[in-house]
Amino acid sequence: MSTDPGPRLAARLSPLLHDPRDKHVLGGLIAALESRYSLLDKLDREPGVEEILAQMLERLAASLGSLWNVRGKRILDVPCGSNSSKAPATVHVGTPLGTLKLGPRQKSYTPLFEPWFCRMLLLMGADAVGVDFGDLDGEEFEHYSVDLGQSGALDFLPDASFDAVQDSRLFGSPEFTAQFPKKADRRAVAREIVQQEHRLLKPGGVIIHSDAEALTN
């Protein structure tokens, strides 16, 4: 069994947690993730989950000033991940840990692509909204089934309706890489996502992170 991830995450994030309330927020968050989503068991199976959670929380604290400031914010995650992600064989996928070659052992559901960001947002008091093409049945946050490879996929969301948005890990996900093997096609999708992100932000809203923007530069 892995050791409790709480102290490791707290130590990594401590330089960013200037608000004294954030340590309490983080402790409660880790406990809730274990209680509701069996976090420790998933860390045992795929240690990369811890790196993903830490990266998400770092970005959130940096963009909003503190984890406490997440409360009450309406935040969009594009794509949010799902409970049904399956990896096709021999696809090279970019992850926070580097490039992985997904072989036969990994051709099944993987906790790496669960909707962790929206789950954490909801547990910290945000109004979380996730879009993804995978299975999100049973998730408590607001979510929509969306194929981001289709033009206008986010048109249904109103202008200036979010305090913050992020897109992360779409362009390295197994399904998306298989659907769009050509870089030119992935760049076309990225350009539309960037346009949509700026349309959806309220005045003064922030982009937490955008892989799409990085791909278009």
pLDDT for 101? 54
Residues 111/104, Cβ–Cβ less than 8 Å = no
Q: State the DSSP code for 158.
A: P
pLDDT for 108? 53
pLDDT for 99? 53
Residues 31/6, Cβ–Cβ less than 8 Å = yes
d(CA 69, CA 211): 23
pLDDT for 188? 93
The domain made up of 5-216 is a member of CATH 2.70.98? no
pLDDT for 120? 97
Tens digit of each residue's pLDDT, the chain (217 residues):
446 666 777 777 788 788 889 988 998 998 899 999 998 888 878 878 888 998 999 999 999 999 999 999 999 999 999 987 654 444 444 444 455 554 444 445 578 889 999 999 999 999 999 999 889 999 999 999 999 989 999 999 999 999 999 999 888 777 787 888 888 899 999 999 999 999 999 999 999 999 999 888 8
Of 180, 214, 164, which is closest to residue 194 (Cα–Cα)? 214
d(CA 80, CA 71): 19
Length of the chain: 217
Of 105, 104, 113, 141, which is closest to residue 53 (Cα–Cα)? 113
pLDDT for 92? 44
Distance of CA 102 to the CA centre of its chain: 20
